[in-house]
């Protein structure tokens, strides 16, 4: 996997590319939604936010000023002065964490925001400062290399980390990743397809780190579900490089049909940019989505996908969209600007901190409490942190429509949950 892959299969852009090399990530997670007139939240209970909520005279209309010193310090490490569009993304994450603190009445928490500049060296320095300041829990960093730099320091100090990278190589030993993992998405979509009678699969995957992860997960999931794989083709980036792999895939589908073993479903894990190039080529190669069910991953979660008729009717896994819709509307009303899709991670991480903050000192953020069997409720559905440092999530199944997507199967009942937001309006 790419060293800096955040992968939010979350986004209306491309969740998985969020932490691939920084430039690709930040293009992929361009903020979605539309700005709405600003409005203030109800007056929150007293809390202290250090280096977080700006004065009302700045650009955050719903900001509140500190009221008193809190007892529990939680640090938030973000690349607030990172290069390119990193800084705006980081700002959205910061605002989402602040929003969660206000909505959920985290009066026991003092949020300490540290700028890690988007580098491992900056993250290490920020973590050292946060630990010196008395932080009991670290939220962030964003990039895998930064998480890798922070983890040993935090572990030595006995401070757990809830980070936003999706590179599972940096998880474990009290470092938890709240992000979405491609393997879970693949398992969900293959399982749904098999439940709907699909047994024989083909796949067209990118020749990159993401493709390697999804291909391995796809092979394993099909095998576990008792299906068979008729063909797998890989393609390099660029429309010209896709032409031959798409043609070979179409030939394999036609040959299978002629042999009386038709392919039921074609799995295409891809970014939004890749899908835009693949669509016309799938149609040109005469791959008929009425005969072969198209399957995707979180990269399909974009309202523009249905503009290409070949993808209409395709299935993909994603969080229940109602949670994101509710959150993004609240965010826009609060800050007067749209939320980056990845902002839900910071909101839910702060929600976990608030949910556990009332526990006894030195017992609030232990591995036992963080990995409690019931997990936590979040914007993108229930989430449970696992001992290996990854997050267990449940996905809904959506079907691509000409405009947007429709929910065709809700997320499975997961675990008994405690909602991370008790005061904000929720969509169940």
> Which domains, ranges and CATH numbers included, belong to the chain?
17-180+321-393 (3.40.50.2300), 182-318 (3.40.50.2300)
pLDDT at 415: 67
pLDDT higher for 1 or 126? 126
Q: Please report, rounded to a whole number, the percentage of residues in the chain having pLDDT higher than 90.
A: 70
**pLDDT single digits (tens) 193-229:** 999 999 999 999 999 989 999 999 999 999 999 999 9
CA distances from 228 to 198, 219, 222 (A): 10, 9, 6
pLDDT at 362: 84
Q: Is 21 a residue whose pLDDT tops 70?
A: no
315-318 and 396-400 as β-strands: parallel, antiparallel, unpaired? antiparallel
pLDDT at 70: 56
Q: Is 268 a residue whose pLDDT tops 50?
A: yes
Q: Please report, rounded to a whole number, the percentage of residues in the chain having pLDDT higher than 70.
A: 80
Q: Is 44 a residue whose pLDDT tops 80?
A: no
**pLDDT single digits (tens) 65-76:** 344 445 899 999
pLDDT at 414: 62
The number of CA neighbours under 13 Å toward the Cβ of 396 is 20
Q: Is 296 a residue whose pLDDT tops 70?
A: yes
CB atoms within 10 A of CB 141: 33
**Axis crossing angle, helix 144-157 with helix 120-132, rounded to the nearest 10:** 30
Q: Is 250 a residue whose pLDDT tops 70?
A: yes
Confidence at 119, pLDDT banded by 50, 70, 90: very high
Task: Outline where DSSP puts E strands in 298-395.
Answer: 315-318, 383-385, 391-393
327 is written with which tokens? 């959150």
pLDDT at 184: 92
C-beta of residue 265 within 8 angstroms of C-beta of residue 294: yes
C-beta of residue 338 within 8 angstroms of C-beta of residue 327: no
C-beta of residue 306 within 8 angstroms of C-beta of residue 49: no
**Summary count for the chain: helices (H), strands (E):** 11, 15
Confidence at 260, pLDDT banded by 50, 70, 90: very high
């Amino acid at each position: 996997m790419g060293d800096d892959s955040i992968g939010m299969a979350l986004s209306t852009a491309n969740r998985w590319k969020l932490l691939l090399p920084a430039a690709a990530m930040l293009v992929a997670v361009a903020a979605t939604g539309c700005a709405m007139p600003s409005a203030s939240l109800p007056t929150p209970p007293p809390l202290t936010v250090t280096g977080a909520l700006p004065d009302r005279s700045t650009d955050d209309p719903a900001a509140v000023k500190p009221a008193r010193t809190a007892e529990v310090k939680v640090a938030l490490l973000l690349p607030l002065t990172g290069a390119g569009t990193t800084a705006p993304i980081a700002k959205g994450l910061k605002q989402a964490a602040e929003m969660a603190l206000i909505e959920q009445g985290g009066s026991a928490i003092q949020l300490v925001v540290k700028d890690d500049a988007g580098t491992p060296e900056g993250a290490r320095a920020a973590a050292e400062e946060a630990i010196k300041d008395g932080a009991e829990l670290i939220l962030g960093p964003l990039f895998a290399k930064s998480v890798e730099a922070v983890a040993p320091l935090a572990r030595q100090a006995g401070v757990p980390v809830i980070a936003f990278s999706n590179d599972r190589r940096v998880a474990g030993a009290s470092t938890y990743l709240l992000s979405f993992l491609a393997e879970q998405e693949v398992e969900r979509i293959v399982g749904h397809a098999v439940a709907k009678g699909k047994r024989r699969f083909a796949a067209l995957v990118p020749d990159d780190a993401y493709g390697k992860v999804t291909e391995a997960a796809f092979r394993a999931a099909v095998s576990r579900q008792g299906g068979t794989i008729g063909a797998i083709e890989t393609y390099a980036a660029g429309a010209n490089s896709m032409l031959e792999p798409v043609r070979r895939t179409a030939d394999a589908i036609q040959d299978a049909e002629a042999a009386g073993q038709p392919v039921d479903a074609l799995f295409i894990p891809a970014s939004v940019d890749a899908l835009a190039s693949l669509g016309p080529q799938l149609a040109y190669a005469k791959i008929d989505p009425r005969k072969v069910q198209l399957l995707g991953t979180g990269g399909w979660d974009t309202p523009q996908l249905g503009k290409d008729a070949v993808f209409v009717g395709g299935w993909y896994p994603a969080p229940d969209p109602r949670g994101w819709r509710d959150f993004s509307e609240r965010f826009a009303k609060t800050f007067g600007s749209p939320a980056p899709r990845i902002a839900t991670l910071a909101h839910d991480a702060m929600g976990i901190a608030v949910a556990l903050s009332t526990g006894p000192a030195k017992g609030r953020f232990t591995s036992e409490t963080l990995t409690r069997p019931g997990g936590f409720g979040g914007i993108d559905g229930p989430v449970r942190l696992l001992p290996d440092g990854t997050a267990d999530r449940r996905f809904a199944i959506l079907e691509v429509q000409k405009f947007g997507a429709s929910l065709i199967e809700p997320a499975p009942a997961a675990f008994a949950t405690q909602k991370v937001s008790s005061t904000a309006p929720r969509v169940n």
